[in-house]
């Protein structure tokens, strides 16, 4: 299958591109490399050293004999995107190419506007490119479980049956996004749903939980293929920050009460979920939603698990609570449905102590790269 992975230089996109290539697909990466530039802007870095994109694909070809094409450019430039579609004629378009950090979108007006423009308009360009050049192309779009918020009812997969004043209907599940970034994903959802309705596009929205882990079988083939590991207060997830803080002897900083509960999955499951979606495409005109996660944990749960893993490596890790920089519910009900991908064959990799120790050992190996002042939050929602 001819597959474009947009955002293929990123944390999710790079291992996905390798995985799909290993499985025999013709993979093309499209990326503007902005994530690397944001590291410079934030005076931050990946804990793991990461090679240039060209070095990565060259090493992959050297090791496997498989070629991954690369186009460096921006989805917001429609002439560029049109050229990619004309040249590659994709059967599936995997869309990871969006600014993915909630804190980054909340820095100030400029970052909020950039996030909205980059994400929403770039996605709109993809929809038009599919319509104009490859109407049978399957859009596999990375959404987020954060679109739903934390409602006091079970979270269904994209849709919910409502009975109101004696009438029933199946409607999109209500959205309660928690940042300007999360709002872009909601806007994307509405735009894709509308495009499917009026143009007959086929699309799968993967509402992904928080991704943890680092390596896949493909990224472990050579250090040049290594994936990035973010840890700062802007792009680092809670689990990543806890791992890095433990490795450098810093208290693990739980925001508020630590009761905030979210959905999670291993990076190995991310790549498999994309493969499942590609191999089982949506029907023409269908907009379907898969909740892409395997487990749910509170922030306090994650800190306790990290503390236990650290102890097994003879690291004394402490947990402390700090003022929550976000505006969010800290103690709430959370129960989400995730049966679609399981029914299609996903066999989850769970958050075990071995996974946490692997991450801790990686952090210890590259401890000299960690910028200590970056492990605490600097962006507030207020």
- The percentage of residues in the chain with a pLDDT greater than 70, rounded to a whole number, is 100
Q: Is residue 327 part of a domain?
A: yes
**pLDDT tens digit string along 141-188?**
999 999 999 999 999 999 999 999 999 999 999 999 999 999 999 999
**pLDDT tens digit string along 57-68?**
999 999 999 999
Catalytic residue flag (residue 165): no
Q: Please report which confidence band the pLDDT of residue 48 belongs to, taking 50, 70 and 90 as the band edges.
A: very high
pLDDT at 201: 98
pLDDT at 11: 97
pLDDT at 44: 98
Q: Is residue 382 part of a domain?
A: no
- Identify the three-state secondary structure at position 104: helix
pLDDT at 146: 98
| Dihedral pair phi/psi, residue 71, rounded to 5° | -120, 120
- Cross-strand pairs, 268: none
**Identified catalytic residue from 19, 71, 181, 334:** 181
pLDDT at 3: 99
Q: Is residue 221 part of a domain?
A: yes
Q: Is residue 139 part of a domain?
A: yes
Q: How far is CA 369 from the centre of its chain?
A: 23
Catalytic residue flag (residue 71): no
**pLDDT tens digit string along 110-125?**
999 999 999 999 999 9
Mean pLDDT score, 183-197:
98
Burial pattern 107-126, b for ≥16 Cβ within 10 A else e, equals beeebbebbbebbbbbbbbb
Mean pLDDT score, 217-230:
98
Tell which residue, 170, 161, 169, 208, has the closest CA to residue 188: 208
**Identified catalytic residue from 144, 204, 270, 294:** 144
Q: What is the mean pLDDT of the chain?
A: 98
Q: Please report which confidence band the pLDDT of residue 223 belongs to, taking 50, 70 and 90 as the band edges.
A: very high
pLDDT at 185: 98
Q: Is residue 381 part of a domain?
A: no
pLDDT at 189: 98
**pLDDT tens digit string along 197-217?**
999 999 999 999 999 998 999
Check which CATH number belongs to the domain holding 214 and give it: 3.40.50.720
Q: Is residue 379 part of a domain?
A: no
Look at the pTM and tell me if it is higher than 0.95.
yes
| CB count in 10 Å sphere of residue 200 | 14
Q: Is residue 136 part of a domain?
A: yes
Catalytic residue flag (residue 131): no
Structural domains of the chain, count? 1
Q: Is residue 182 part of a domain?
A: yes
**pLDDT tens digit string along 60-102?**
999 999 999 999 999 999 999 999 999 999 999 999 999 999 9
**pLDDT tens digit string along 290-323?**
999 999 999 999 999 999 999 999 999 999 999 9
**Identified catalytic residue from 185, 305, 307, 357:** 185
pLDDT at 105: 98
**Residues 135, 199: contact at Cβ < 8 Å?**
yes
Domain range spanning residue 303? 2-374
C-alpha span between 140 and 95 (Å, rounded) = 6
- From the number of C-beta atoms within 10 Å of its C-beta (0-12, 13-18, 19+), residue 91 rates as middle
């Amino acid at each position: 299958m001819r597959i474009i992975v947009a955002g293929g230089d990123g944390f999710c996109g790079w291992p996905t591109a390798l995985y799909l290539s290993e499985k025999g697909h013709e993979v093309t990466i499209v990326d503007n490399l902005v994530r690397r530039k944001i590291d410079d802007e934030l005076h931050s870095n990946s804990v793991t050293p990461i090679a240039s994109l060209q070095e990565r694909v060259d090493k992959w070809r050297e090791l496997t004999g498989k070629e991954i094409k690369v186009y460096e450019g921006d989805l917001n430039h429609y002439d560029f995107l049109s050229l990619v579609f004309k040249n590659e004629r994709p059967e599936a378009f995997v869309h990871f190419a969006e600014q993915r950090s909630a804190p980054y979108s909340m820095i100030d007006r400029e970052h909020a506007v950039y996030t909205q423009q980059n994400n929403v308009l770039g996605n709109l360009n993809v929809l038009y490119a599919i319509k104009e050049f490859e109407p049978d192309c399957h859009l596999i779009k990375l959404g987020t479980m954060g679109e739903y918020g934390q409602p006091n009812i079970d979270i269904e997969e994209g849709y919910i049956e409502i009975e109101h004043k004696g009438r029933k209907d199946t409607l999109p599940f209500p959205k309660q996004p928690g940042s300007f970034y999360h709002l872009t994903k909601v806007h994307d959802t509405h735009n894709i749903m509308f495009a499917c309705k009026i143009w007959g596009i086929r699309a799968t929205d993967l509402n992904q939980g928080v991704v943890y882990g680092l390596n896949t079988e493909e990224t472990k083939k050579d250090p040049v293929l290594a994936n990035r590991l973010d840890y700062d207060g802007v792009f680092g997830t809670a689990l990543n920050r806890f791992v890095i803080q433990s490795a450098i002897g810093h208290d693990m900083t739980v925001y508020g009460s630590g009761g905030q509960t979210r959905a999670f999955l291993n990076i190995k499951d991310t790549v498999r979920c994309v493969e499942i979606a590609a191999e089982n495409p949506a029907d023409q005109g269908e907009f379907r939603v898969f909740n892409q996660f395997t487990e749910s944990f509170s922030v306090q749960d994650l800190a306790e698990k990290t503390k236990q893993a650290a102890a097994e490596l003879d690291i004394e890790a402490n947990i402390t609570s700090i003022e929550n920089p976000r505006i969010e519910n800290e103690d709430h009900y959370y129960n989400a449905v995730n049966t679609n991908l399981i029914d299609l064959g996903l066999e989850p990799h769970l958050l075990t102590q071995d996974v946490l120790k692997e991450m801790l050992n990686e952090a210890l190996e590259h401890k000299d790269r960690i910028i200590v002042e970056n492990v605490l939050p600097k962006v507030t929602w207020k």
